[in-house]
Structure 1
Amino acid sequence: MSRVIQVVDSPARAAAVIRMTVPQREMPSVMKPAIDEILAVLKAQGVKPAGPLFNHYLSMDSGLFDFETGFPIDAPIEPSGRVRPGELPAAKVARTVHFGPYENLHHAWGVFTALVRSEGLTPAGGLWECYQEGPESGPDPSNWRTELNLPIEG
């Protein structure tokens, strides 16, 4: 993980999302079908993703993840199946980039959150990951990049 923390005002972004609540261990099995479903709905409605895939975690209590997975969009969509219009919220965020496999994200979040707190910043609740480079970009996970966004107070 990059040790660089940026503090930025992240604007709200319209998105096409599927909301799920699953145990952490089920994340790998639910992601691909959800991504495929969102992309199929976008294609059917003539809308292209306007940025990388993200997961917006609303709650992670007791290993149960309540989250939205989706893509930013620049045109409105109609609900279809599990896919709904949504948004990444506007927020002041602490941001960094994790380099490596998704299996290490839990650890990266722990390190990142500790760094944020050591800088005197206070997390405000919720967080999101933007998957900038992943398995589709090559088989070597050391080249994968995930942007970590932690809303902060102030």
Structure 2
Amino acid sequence: MGHDDVTITRETGRRLAAVHYEARTEDIGAKAGEAFRRVAGHLARTGVPITGPAVSVFVADEDAFSVTSGFVVDSDVEPGEGIEPFRLPEVEVATTTHLGPYDELDKAYDALGRGAAAHGRRVDDTGPMWEEYWSGPDTPPTQTRTVVSRPLVTPR
């Protein structure tokens, strides 16, 4: 699937059970993996089913990212053990599917900027962006599927 398959769609404000942390780029993989394990454990213990993919939401700070990682759920989450309910913003987004290793995700982000422009829109550089991980940890890197979304600037 080419990276130029960028669609403009609307994020519906899906609910997550998530952990919030700060991370530098090189630490995100390890910290996200730990966050997903913690959230999955908490949901199993509290009987809340996971109903969608693992998601990480990133907001760029000066020299690091403010990250929220967790799973899509349909019901309210009991906070505890650092796990909190979180909602994705209800916004228009540019979105694309990246098939390949995580260390090539920058290609998907480049494509989002180009794809938004092709639709006469632009991504909001100040806002959050998020990645949905649709492949398990044992998936070969070349077959790993990640859906990347960035909110769009609202046209005036």
TM superposition score normalised by structure 2: 0.88
SS in 1 for 2:112: helix
Structure 1: segments with no counterpart, 5+ residues? none
Deviations 1:61-83 (A, max 9, x none): 34401110011111111111111
- The residue identity in structure 2 corresponding to 1:9 is R
Counterpart position of 2:61: 61
Aligned-partner Cα distance in 1 for 2:85–2:34 = 18
SS in 1 for 2:142: helix
Counterpart position of 1:28: 29
Structure 2: segments with no counterpart, 5+ residues? none
> 1:134 offset after TM fit, Å?
4.0
Counterpart position of 1:44: 45
Identical residues among aligned pairs (%): 25
Counterpart position of 1:121: 121
> 1:98 offset after TM fit, Å?
0.5
Aligned-partner Cα distance in 1 for 2:9–2:119 = 15
Equivalent residue runs for 1:1-154 within 5 Å: 1-57=2-58, 59-124=59-124, 125-136=127-138, 138=139, 140-154=140-154
Q: 1:106 to 1:91 in 2, by over 3 A?
A: same
Deviations 1:125-145 (A, max 9, x none): 221111112433x2x211111
**Number of residue pairs matched by the alignment:** 151
- Runs of 4 or more, structure 1, over 3 Å off, are none
Aligned-partner Cα distance in 2 for 1:114–1:130 = 20
SS in 1 for 2:51: coil
SS in 2 for 1:52: strand
SS in 2 for 1:135: coil
Deviations 1:7-44 (A, max 9, x none): 11220111101111111111122122111100000001
- The residue identity in structure 1 corresponding to 2:49 is K
SS in 2 for 1:28: helix
Aligned-partner Cα distance in 2 for 1:83–1:50 = 17
RMSD, matched Cα:
1.6
